[in-house]
Chain A
């Protein structure tokens, strides 16, 4: 009987410890939140890339209508390098690297955004 009690207590202790550990981990992930690049095609999340660890690469995304945007990633930043849209506003947006920054291609319904925790700004007026 005494033994059983020990087991119950040990079990409960372990449970509590584990739950604390998990919640701590989750919280840490949320606050640290490394910079990531989110690529959206046709309004849907297409790909997420860890910007801090990203290697130099180019990704070509073709949308449902056959139009394309080329995303270039290097050194903690990203841009829309090329697009077949008529106004080229997205290409002109240039490099983005801070949380909250976006480059948008309205004609191709395509955009990239830098996400991550930042105490800098909540929105950018442009």
Chain B
């Protein structure tokens, strides 16, 4: 009897302990959010170790901060921003001299110029003067006169950005020109932060930088991450859900940064060729491996509109896109068919083009 009870007790203890051990080897979720780059950045990583999980989060946020400081366009009070921001120094020296910049800035400028060329200027990083005129970025929005727009547009031209990759310099040829990384910096920072997480051995993570999403690896259970796309006319709902692994999903819409004047909505999505709002579409979503590309590509797609945007997107390898036009008609590139489901909410009409 004595021995019997002892054996049973031991078995119980063993059983209980094996339970503990199994639990501690499991992946744990670590999540944090911070205000960086004029937006809310949320990072979630999975790690089996508390310290590495927290370290990964800290390093990811530090990367966002670093890219923000490099690309910030507006000087901040009490901070020597022209020393830290490549963009401020490039803009200050427009028409004066080439400026030595870091490799990140060089990468961003080169990538941006590539897509500017490819889209015939539907995306342009020299839109600084026109964004300032409309008051975006400074929260003093108003509708400018055609005369003012014409004047500002004379300073918008990506072909006047001279990059010397060997010497690491960027030069704006005309005085008054200014770079605006608003359409690319978040995507680039997201991509760099994801790289750092990978280097730290993180296998599962999801970054959301103000709607700029990057899904690293798969979910801890191996299934794809599910990324929702906001309903462009109802912030409480989703229009679609994308299943993705190692992929970025970025959405642009006329509902985020806009103001109304005389009953008309003026969004921050401005056509660099007219200096005015692009109005064919109300939302675009780009799915791409690179978060930088996904961020950039939303702008030319939005500006080009549903038809021309579709043919432009189809011409780029590995890129998927969803378009919602002002009449609530939805189209998407065929390569998304297997990973895209529409929620059926709202009165959207899904018309796919072959």
Contacts and interface: CB of A to CB of B under 8 A. Distances in A.
A94 B16 contact: no
Given A8-B9, A106-B35, A122 B227 contact: yes
Interface string A92-119: 1111111011111011010100000000
A103 B8 CA distance: 55
Contact of A16 (B6, B15, B229): B15
B135 to A, nearest CB: 10
B241 interface: yes
Contact of B35 (A6, A77, A86, A109): A109
B180 to A, nearest CB: 17
A31 to B, nearest CB: 13
A96 B236 CA distance: 5
Interface stretch (B155-163, B194-202, B248-256, B306-314): B248-256
Nearest to B8: A9
A120 B13 CA distance: 39
A93 B235 contact: yes
Interface in B200-231: 206, 208, 210-213, 215, 219, 225-230
Contacts of A123: 42, 206, 208, 213, 215, 225, 227-228
- What interface size band does chain A fall in? 35 or more
A107 to B, nearest CB: 8
A103 to B, nearest CB: 8
A124 B211 contact: yes
A5 interface: yes
Contacts of B215: 122-123
- What interface size band does chain B fall in? 35 or more
B9 A102 contact: no
Nearest to A86: B139
B12 A120 contact: no
Contacts of A103: 235
Label chain A's interface by main secondary structure.
Answer: mixed
Interface string B242-266: 0000000111010111000000000
B34 interface: yes
Given A12-B13, A97-B236, A125 B5 contact: no
Nearest to B19: A23
Given A9-B9, A87-B257, A125-B251, A104 B40 contact: yes
B230 A111 contact: no
A16 B18 CA distance: 12
19 contacts: A1-B2, A9-B9, A16-B15, A43-B34, A77-B236, A89-B256, A89-B257, A106-B39, A107-B139, A111-B33, A122-B44, A122-B227, A123-B206, A123-B215, A124-B208, A124-B230, A125-B208, A125-B227, A126-B230
Interface of B: 1-2, 5-6, 8-9, 12-13, 15-16, 19, 33-35, 38-40, 42, 44, 139-140, 206, 208, 210-213, 215, 219, 225-230, 234-236, 238, 241, 249-251, 253, 255-257, 285
